[in-house]
Amino acid sequence: MPELPFSIPLSSEAFQSHAELRHVQRRLSDLVDHFTDHSASNDILTDSNPLVYEYWEREYEGTSQGISFGMTRIHPGQVGNEYYLTKGHFHADDYGDEIHITLSGQGLLLLFNKDGSCQTFEMLADKMNYLPGNLAHRTINTGSTPLVFVGFWPPKIIHDYETILQNGFPKLVIAGPEGPELVNNLNFKI
Ligand SMILES: [Fe+2]
């Protein structure tokens, strides 16, 4: 944990070199159950285990003070026709709104309401997205360069990754002939 106050440039290089931020890497082997095309995953994993995304964060969990933040870098790539993505999660008790500011690359923020509806917001450099704490969220790199964004969220959020792992999102973002397409996820469990 960096001592407060502190200052840091908004670049992945600066976050990457800050030893006191928690660094987490997610490789394809960590994400096989989040992609729908298991045969494509297995094909890739026979040769390599690519880094799909990584983040550097400072999270306030056991205190009611502070603002959690993190920088995420999703690498460009696909598993089958599905773009590289983050696991995605709900916030337990629907608590905790979140702000994302995209720094570079291009992608989509996929939001999922418990009533089954989905919507997407573009992630483009210098664009901010605000999401309320009751919507599950996942970020997807639809471009050919890393998608880098910084996020801010309040303390004491409990992240629910398990519901998404078990049920998925109702929609997938895939590479279509003319670019990204939002399609139904046939494996989604209500
Ligand atoms: Fe979140």
87: nearest Cα among 137, 131, 144: 137
Record the pTM: 0.96
Spatial CB neighbours of 164, under 8 Å, sequence gap ≥ 6: 34, 87, 88, 89, 90, 136, 138
Ligand 1 centroid to residue 47 C-alpha, Å: 32
Give the model confidence (pLDDT) of 65-100 as tens digits: 899 999 999 999 999 999 999 999 999 999 999 999
Tell me the CA–centroid distance for residue 98 and ligand 1, in Å: 6
CA of 63 relative to ligand 1 center, distance in Å:
17
Domains and CATH numbers, the chain: 12-184 (2.60.120.10)
Q: Residue 81 Cα, ligand 1 centroid: separation in angstroms?
A: 25
pLDDT in tens, 26-38: 999 999 999 999 9
